[in-house]
Amino acid sequence: MTAVSAVDERWDDGLIARRAQEQAAAEGHPADEPPAPIGEAYAGTLRPRLDALRELVGLSRTRLDGDTLAEAGRVLDEAAARQRLSARHTVVAIAGPTGSGKSALINALAGVPVSETGLRRPTTANPIACTWSEGAAGLLDRLAIPGRLRRRPLAGGVGDEALQGLVLVDLPDHDSAVTAHRAQVDRVLGLVDAVIWVVDPEKYADAALHERYLRPLAGHAEVTFVVLNQVDRLPGDAAHQVLDDLRRLLDEDGMALGEHGEPGATVLAVSALTGEGVGELRDVLGAFVQGRRAAERRLSADVDAAAARLRPVYVADGHPGLGERSREDFGARLAVAVGARAAGEAAEREWRRGAGRACGTPWLRLWRWYERLRTRGAVVVAEEGCGPEATAPEDELTARQRVEQAVRVVAEEAAHGLPAPWAQAVREAAVRGARGLPEALDELAVSVGAPPAGGRPPRPAWWPAAVLAQAAMTLLQFYGALWLVGQIIGVLEPGLVPPVLIMLAGIVGGPLVEWACAAAARGPARRYGQETERRLREAAAGCGRAMVLDPIAAELMRYREVRERYAHVARGRAEGGGPGAGPGAGPGMGPGAGRAAVVGAVRPGGG
């Protein structure tokens, strides 16, 4: 095989290769154009901010709708797409109204008729690109600019080191009567690294320009150039007056101006016809391109705009969350719903009733037994007429309503001050957890409120002695009675006083022992009732915590996590002093973006 020349090492001896070269030449692509280099990783604070924004979107997908996260997703996609393309090229769009001289200006910068000029309006119908160096094919493909609309400057321009890496795109008029032209402008503005707005002395204050583009793009000031063209038409000091008025309007739009060494938009006065100011614009543009930070500045401003748009759904008003008082109040409401106090009082009565049964006189106990037998029929009739069948549903409904009210109150307290999506998530978590809460509380009331094993309340240590004393008083009564009977039937010697005294001692001593036991039982009975109430309160609070408070806490923890991610996104530029600073930022460089304030730092627990 014949050795190929060292100057030309391309494989071009085949039919396929020759056809490929012919097709590339027909489309305006040089056949020997090298591929664009792989983009470098973003430096400074932009990379961690993009990572934080990506995590933020991932954590929020189940809580926020797609429309809310659409802008953040677009910024991430654009950042990834731009990073894969050439990092040594800067794409700058030239935009402006009809007749402002955009095409004449790009021709003056390129030194060659790149874009057609003329009196017919609109003159530019499609974006036209002019590249000062090779390797920008991928960027132009991203802008959907065909090969026939890709230009190169004059030979001398190729050697212009100051503009090496510049890709200049001439856009159609943004105020064109043709809808397709405006759509082209909006599409390309969302993809370029910077933009030069060309205005003339007649339309520099046009409301459509300021309200539709410049005001929403206030946050992109560092990648924005505003050029007052056709100053040759202004006599004397009129050019300075118009330029000062243009700066005033930009300041009212919220766009920072790069004056006195401060970052911001660059405002220049030029004349593409006479060349006045074109050299200064070329120098400023060359320094901007050689810095190779336009893409990062643009994306940083996009992140600022996305953070500003997301602020209402992440930044809370005040200090949301559940305090200790809210938790205690929720437990108290559940205790009321489960009837903890009533259960404690019932346990206390049961304890005292047991003390009365154990320490009461036998005669009183027999009387009580008789009363129970006599009144049993009436109780049965009452239970059949208005018993559990009639009252239970109403009681159950009342308890359920109290539980639902307690859940609503604690959910509202936890959601107070939260952004709407997260407040709704907290309420839904509380409702889901409360679905089986009334039934669980009913089970607790039965299990915790019931007496311990054996079916009897615990008894104090003095209880056996009291029972023994009451038994002794009963024996004294029997003993005295038997003594008297023995005397009556003549078995024993007559003597009325001793047996009567013994019987009186037993008769009086029995009630005294019962009264003493009742008095002594008040303290233990009260403590037993309080312990029952406490156990039921703690059980109800624990059940409510597990079923309602813990899910609410999980949602609040998730919100704190995404808020922390949002703080990284919003703080990045403020902490790092990064690019794109400005008093306002739109969601992109396209029109219709809402004006956004610079996002401040997010304090933990507050907005």
Among the listed residues 597, 607, 603, 571, the one whose alpha carbon sits nearest the alpha carbon of residue 305: 597
Rg, Å, the chain Cα set:
45
| DSSP state at residue 580 | -
Among the listed residues 157, 189, 190, 193, the one whose alpha carbon sits nearest the alpha carbon of residue 292: 193
Is residue 70's pLDDT more than 70?
Answer: yes
Q: CA separation (Å) from 369 to 19, 364, 380, 456, 457?
A: 117, 9, 16, 19, 21
Q: What is the mean pLDDT of residues 309-320?
A: 84
pLDDT value for 465: 75
Grouping H, G, I as helix, E, B as strand and the rest as coil, residue 167 is: strand
Distance of CA 131 to the CA centre of its chain: 44
pLDDT value for 441: 83
Reported confidence tier of residue 380, pLDDT bands at 50, 70, 90: very low
| DSSP state at residue 163 | G
Is residue 594's pLDDT more than 50?
Answer: no
At residue 592, what are phi and psi to the nearest 5 degrees? Answer: 80, 0
**DSSP code string of 446-463:** HHHHS--TTSS----TTH
Is residue 572's pLDDT more than 90?
Answer: no
Question: To 10 degrees, what angle do helices 324-338 and 340-359 make?
Answer: 50
| From 178-182, 293-297, 429-433, 542-546, the region with the lowest mean pLDDT | 178-182
- Each residue's pLDDT tens digit, 73-126: 999 999 999 988 888 899 999 998 888 888 889 888 887 776 665 444 445 678
Residue ranges of domains in the chain, CATH in brackets: 33-314 (3.40.50.300), 324-382+392-576 (no CATH)
Region of 124 (left: φ > 0; alpha: ψ -120 to 50; beta: rest) is beta
Beta bridge partners of residue 130, listed in sequence order: 151, 168
- Each residue's pLDDT tens digit, 247-287: 999 999 999 888 777 888 999 999 988 889 998 999 999 99
Alpha-carbon gap, residue 188 to 194, rounded angstroms: 11
Choice between 172 and 445, residue whose per-residue pLDDT is larger: 172
Choice between 25 and 559, residue whose per-residue pLDDT is larger: 559
Alpha-carbon gap, residue 68 to 60, rounded angstroms: 10
Reported confidence tier of residue 377, pLDDT bands at 50, 70, 90: low
Q: Does the reported pTM lie above 0.85? A: no
Reported confidence tier of residue 503, pLDDT bands at 50, 70, 90: confident
